[in-house]
Amino acid sequence: MTGAKAELLPYLCCKDAAAAMDFYKKAFGADEMFRMEGEDGKIGHATMQILGATFYLSDEWPEGNVYGPQTLGGSPVALHLNVPDVDSVFDQAVAAGATAQRPVEDQPYGDRSGVLTDPSGHRWFISSTIEEVSTDELEKRMPDYKVTTRE
């Protein structure tokens, strides 16, 4: 696979995908690019974009062992969305129905970020890069961590 390039896209499963899509539009200004809806109204597949970043979602599909965080009691996976203005996007998401888990604050690694949970139970890290931090500076700011990079 030398020289090959991959694309990794989040695929969210939601208990009510149509409601989740409406939330993502209100909270993040997401654009709906594609929707495949069954006769029962369930979303079999949808493609959305937030500022050009693509993600997929669907309704739960028990026959295929596909369940969302609400049914499973949470998710070990979070999404990280880097935007130009974290404060306004975070506030917009909370106004649209997200629950703030950690307020927006400047972080030692150069981001300003906060954490929220959407109404479907997915956890989002919303951030803006406010400064580029060198490895040496990061180790000074966060001495309890050993930092390694691959150049």
CA 81 to chain centre: 5
Residue ranges of domains in the chain: 11-61+71-141
Q: What is the CATH number of domain 11-61+71-141?
A: 3.10.180.10
- Evaluate whether 30 touches 49 at the Cβ level (below 8 Å): yes
Q: Which H or E run includes 94?
A: helix 86-95
Q: Token match 């969302």: residue?
A: 68
Looking at the DSSP bridge assignments, the partners of residue 126 are 81, 114
How many Å apart are CA 96 and CA 37, to the nearest integer? 24
* Token pair listed for 98: 């997200």
Question: What's this model's pTM, rounded to 2 decimal places?
Answer: 0.90
* Token pair listed for 59: 């309704």
Chain-wide mean pLDDT for the chain? 95
Q: According to the model, what pLDDT value does residue 150 have?
A: 80
Residue 1: pLDDT band (50, 70, 90) is low
* Token pair listed for 41: 């109204």
Total residues belonging to the chain? 151
* Range 36-59 average pLDDT: 97
Question: What residues have CB less than 8 Å from 99, skipping those under 6 apart?
Answer: 116, 117
* Range 66-74 average pLDDT: 96
* Token pair listed for 131: 């400064």
CA 38 to chain centre: 26
Looking at the DSSP bridge assignments, the partners of residue 53 are 50
